Amino acid sequence: MALTLLTLGLWASTALSQTSSSVFDFPEYPPPGTPDPNSTLGQSVSALPYGIGNDSQLSQARIHYDTGTFGPQIELVHAYYNYWPTGVGVASDGTIFTCFPRGNETFTLAVFNSSTSEAAWPNEEWNTPPAFANVSNPGYSIATDKLIFVQSVVVDGIDRVWALDTGRPRVNGTYLLAAVPGGPKLVGFYLNGTSFVTYTFPDYVVYADSSINDVRFDLRGGGYAYITDSSPYHPALVVVDLATGESWRHLDGHVAVTPDPNFVPVYDGVPFYYHPIIPPNAIQFMSAFAADGIALSADGEYIYVTPLTSRHLYRVPTSYLKQQPSSVNPYAALLAHEAVQTLGEFGGHADGLETDSTGYIYVGSQEHNAIHRYNATTGIVEPFIRSPFIQWADTLSVVTLQNGGGTYLYFTSNQLWLAPDYQNGTDLRTKPYAMFRVPTVGGRATQTD
Ligand SMILES: *[C@@H]1O[C@H](CO)[C@@H](O)[C@H](O)[C@H]1NC(C)=O
Ligand SMILES: *[C@@H]1O[C@H](CO)[C@@H](O)[C@H](O)[C@H]1NC(C)=O
Ligand SMILES: *[C@@H]1O[C@H](CO)[C@@H](O)[C@H](O)[C@H]1NC(C)=O
Ligand SMILES: *[C@@H]1O[C@H](CO)[C@@H](O)[C@H](O)[C@H]1NC(C)=O
Ligand SMILES: *[C@@H]1O[C@H](CO)[C@@H](O)[C@H](O)[C@H]1NC(C)=O
Ligand SMILES: *[C@@H]1O[C@H](CO)[C@@H](O)[C@H](O)[C@H]1NC(C)=O
Ligand SMILES: *[C@@H]1O[C@H](CO)[C@@H](O)[C@H](O)[C@H]1NC(C)=O
Ligand SMILES: *[C@@H]1O[C@H](CO)[C@@H](O)[C@H](O)[C@H]1NC(C)=O
Ligand SMILES: *[C@@H]1O[C@H](CO)[C@@H](O)[C@H](O)[C@H]1NC(C)=O
| Residue among 102, 171, 174, 278 whose CB has most ligand 5 atoms within 8 A, to mutate | 171
Which pLDDT does position 171 carry in this prediction? 80
444 versus 26: the higher-pLDDT residue is: 444
Torsion of CA 301, 306, 311, 314, to 10 degrees: -30
Instruction: Identify the residues whose C-beta falls under 6 Å from ligand 1.
Output: 13, 17, 36-38
* Structure confidence at residue 7 as a pLDDT band (50, 70, 90): very low
Mean pLDDT across the stretch 335-343?
A: 98
Mean pLDDT across the stretch 219-237?
A: 96
Q: State the average pLDDT for the chain.
A: 89
pLDDT at position 49 over 80: no
Q: Is the peptide bond before 32 cis (omega within 30 degrees of 0)?
A: no
Query: Of 123, 118, 119, which is closest to residue 80 (Cα–Cα)?
Result: 118
* Structure confidence at residue 134 as a pLDDT band (50, 70, 90): very high
pLDDT at position 12 over 60: no
Which pLDDT does position 27 carry in this prediction? 56
* Structure confidence at residue 62 as a pLDDT band (50, 70, 90): low
pLDDT at position 229 over 80: yes
Which pLDDT does position 175 carry in this prediction? 76
| Residue among 106, 109, 112, 117 whose CB has most ligand 3 atoms within 8 A, to mutate | 117
Closest atom of ligand 5 to 132 CA is: 13
Predicted confidence (pLDDT) per residue in 72-130, tens digit: 999 999 999 999 999 999 999 999 999 999 988 999 999 999 999 999 999 999 999 99
Give the number of the ligand closest to the Cα of residue 117: 3
Contacts of 350 (CB under 8 A, 6+ apart): 292, 293, 306, 308, 363, 364, 365, 366
Name the residue at shortest CA distance from atom 12 of ligand 4. 142
Distance 142 CA to ligand 4 centre (A): 7
Contacts of 117 (CB under 8 A, 6+ apart): 81, 82
pLDDT at position 2 over 50: no
Predicted confidence (pLDDT) per residue in 191-216, tens digit: 999 999 999 999 999 999 999 999 99
pLDDT at position 218 over 90: yes
* Structure confidence at residue 374 as a pLDDT band (50, 70, 90): very high
Distance 47 CA to ligand 2 centre (A): 11
Predicted confidence (pLDDT) per residue in 349-371, tens digit: 999 999 999 999 999 999 999 99
pLDDT at position 244 over 90: yes
* Structure confidence at residue 15 as a pLDDT band (50, 70, 90): very low
Closest atom of ligand 8 to 27 CA is: 5
Percent of the chain past pLDDT 70, that is, above it, reads 86
pLDDT at position 273 over 90: yes
- CATH numeric code, 74-439: 2.120.10.30
Distance 144 CA to ligand 4 centre (A): 10
Closest atom of ligand 4 to 134 CA is: 1
Taking the alpha carbons at both ends of the chain, their separation in whole angstroms is 60
Mean pLDDT across the stretch 299-309?
A: 97
Task: List the domain boundaries for the chain.
Answer: 74-439
Mean pLDDT across the stretch 6-21?
A: 33
Closest atom of ligand 8 to 356 CA is: 13
* Structure confidence at residue 29 as a pLDDT band (50, 70, 90): low
Give the number of the ligand closest to the Cα of residue 277: 9
CA 364, 294, 179, 182 dihedral sign is positive
Name the residue at shortest CA distance from atom 7 of ligand 9. 281
Confirm or reject: Cβ of 44 under 6 Å from ligand 8. no
DSSP 268: T
Instruction: Identify the residues whose C-beta falls under 6 Å from ligand 5.
Output: 133, 171-172
HEC-encoded secondary structure of the chain: CHHHHHHHHHHHHHHHHCCCCCCCCCCCCCCCCCCCCCCCHHHHCCCCCCCHHHCHHHHHCCCCCCCCCECCCCEEEEEECCCCCCCEEECCCCCEEEECCCCCCCCCEEEEEECCEEEECCCCCCCCCCCCCCCCCCCECCCCCCCCCEEEEEECCCCCEEEEECCCCEECCCEECECCCCCCEEEEECCCCCEEEEEECCCCCCCCCCCEEEEEEECCCCCEEEEEECCCCCCEEEEEECCCCCEEEECCCCCCCCCCCCCCCEECCEECCEECCCCCCCCECCCCCCEEEEEECCCCCEEEEEECCCCEEEEEEHHHHCCCCECCECCHHHHHHHHCEEEEECCCCCCCEEECCCCCEEEEEHHHCEEEEEECCCCEEEEEEECCCCCCEEEEEEEEECCCCEEEEEEEECCHHHCHHHECCCCCCCCCEEEEEEECCCCCCCCCC
Give the number of the ligand closest to the Cα of residue 115: 3
pLDDT at position 231 over 50: yes
CA 99, CA 86: separation in Å to the nearest integer?
6
Percent of the chain past pLDDT 90, that is, above it, reads 80
* Structure confidence at residue 14 as a pLDDT band (50, 70, 90): very low
Confirm or reject: Cβ of 130 under 6 Å from ligand 4. no
Confirm or reject: Cβ of 196 under 6 Å from ligand 7. no
Distance 19 CA to ligand 1 centre (A): 12
45 versus 325: the higher-pLDDT residue is: 325
Mean pLDDT across the stretch 11-20?
A: 35
